[in-house]
Amino acid sequence: MWVHRRRGGPLGLLLLGGQIMNVGVYNIPPVTLTLIAAQVVIYIKLIEHVLQYFPSANAVCISTYLLYYHSQWKRLFLSPFYHADDMHLYFNMVSLLWKGMMLEKMFRSTYFAFLVAVFTVATGMVYVILSMLMDGLMDDHRYSTSCAIGFSGVLFAMKVLTTHYTPSGLHYAFGFIPVPSRWIYWVELILISMVYPNASFIGHLSGILVGLLYVHGPLKLMMDSILLPGPSRTQTTTYYYRQQYTPRTINVSFNNAQHSSDGQGMSEDEQIARATENSLRDTGQTSQSQTSQSRTSQSGLYPDLEELRQRRLNRYN
């Protein structure tokens, strides 16, 4: 979530398009792909009918003042899907891409859609409650009137789930700061607030708390009483990378509350980097094998010198 600011240019959209092409549209599960496409459409205002629901950031942003005191509850559903600028959209959608691919394949599409809907509402409700508490404790009305937008609160809730269902080990915040997996979302919460002043600390904290309510609290039991997640299964996923034009296939197994893959214990960025390295290594090995085979086949075109001498002896004898 971000405090409302000026919208930017098309760079984020171009980068997002490149990421989607690297993965391959057909490799993205349907609910994840639909969520990404919908938020892009909302950002670029592509469909006229959508504009009446998302006319501006001020019309959809969420705050305690607007929800609790003015009962504008529709903002709970609208604010997560509106983004401040192109880079805000890009970072959120890339994060959704990788988290969604894991969780949707694990839970199946129907339950994942249910999960996103519940997390969207729950994150907004926790945001309102926390803002109200901070307003009272700090005697600062800015907590109640601060208006936030963006999908990152829901993404932090998903981050708790992806960390929980990934084997424990070291993860890397921002790709280079080693952090034990159980602390990764807390460290990212602090670092993002330090690096991006416009980021909503309370919005991100709300997402973490909702995720913890799911993995350690009653939220999962309540949701599972309404709709059960899909059964465990083994999914073969093909990822595409810009460096190679051939697919890299990774076998990913899901067994209830366990997630195993080629990159066990690693964060999403590390898994992407590892898969890219494997792809490049495999290509190098293939190239060496082809070169060796080519040399062998070329040498087979001409007889050995010793063989020529033997043929001459046989001829005269």
Q: Which amino acid is at 267?
A: S
The CA–CA distances, whole Å, from 220 to 98, 102, 161, 229, 260 equal 22, 18, 11, 10, 21
Active site residue 261: no
- C-alpha torsion angle, residues 283, 288, 290, 296 (rounded to 10): -170
Active site residue 253: no
Selecting among 204, 206, 267, 279, the annotated active-site residue is 204
Selecting among 79, 146, 152, 279, the annotated active-site residue is 152
Q: E strands along the chain, which residues?
A: 2-3, 148-149, 170-173, 177-180, 233-239, 248-255, 258-260
Q: How many whole angstroms from its chain centre is CA 122?
A: 20
What whole-number distance in Å separates Cα of residue 172 and Cα of residue 192?
14
Asked if 123 contacts 115 with a C-beta cutoff of 8 angstroms, the reply is no
For the annotated catalytic residues, the residue numbers are 152, 204
